[in-house]
Structure 1
Amino acid sequence: MKDPQRFTIIREQDTSGVSGVGRVLDGVIFHTGQVVVCWRSNHASITIFENWDAFDGVHLKAHPENRAKIQFFDSSDMPE
């Protein structure tokens, strides 16, 4: 069984004006493939995604103009 994989999202821009720039989100990918994220804001909310593709589609691919970067803490590889 794989260990949880921690990551953070760092944005250069925030076109929505909601979450800001810099380190905006922390997350964990669990052995089940589920992704849990917590926004790093005053109104921190937690969201659970079925898998990495679901998270990626909503928060990264949908907003390429934000120039978000992913930093993995437990591995430098993208999730499987």
Structure 2
Amino acid sequence: MNAPQRFALIRQADATGVSGTGHVLDGVIFHTGQVVVCWRSAFGSITIFENWEAFIGVHLQAHPENRASLVFLDDESKEV
């Protein structure tokens, strides 16, 4: 089994004006393929995605104007 992989979402802009810019969420990809994210806001809400593609669709593809990038914290050679 693969170990969980941690990542961070970094935004250059915030089209909705809700969650801000910079390091806005932390996430983990589990061996099942499920993704769990926690927003770095005062509320720290948590969301579970069925798979990586669902997470990417909501947080990168749906809002390209945010110019978001992902940083994988357990393997610095991976950056999206």
TM-score by length of 2: 0.93
2:39 corresponds to which residue? 39
Separation in 2 of the partners of 1:74 and 1:22? 19
Consecutive unaligned residues in structure 1, runs of 5 or more: none
1:69 aligns with 2:69: yes
Query: Which segment drifts farther, 69-78 or 55-64?
Result: 69-78
SS at match of 2:38: strand
2:50 corresponds to which residue? 50
Separation in 2 of the partners of 1:70 and 1:22? 11
Determine what percentage of the aligned residue pairs are the same residue. 71
Separation in 2 of the partners of 1:8 and 1:48? 15
> How far 1:18 sits from its partner (Å)?
0.3
> How far 1:77 sits from its partner (Å)?
3.6
Moved >3 Å (runs of 4+): none
The alignment's C-alpha RMSD in Å is 1.0
- Aligned residue pairs: how many? 78
Consecutive unaligned residues in structure 2, runs of 5 or more: none
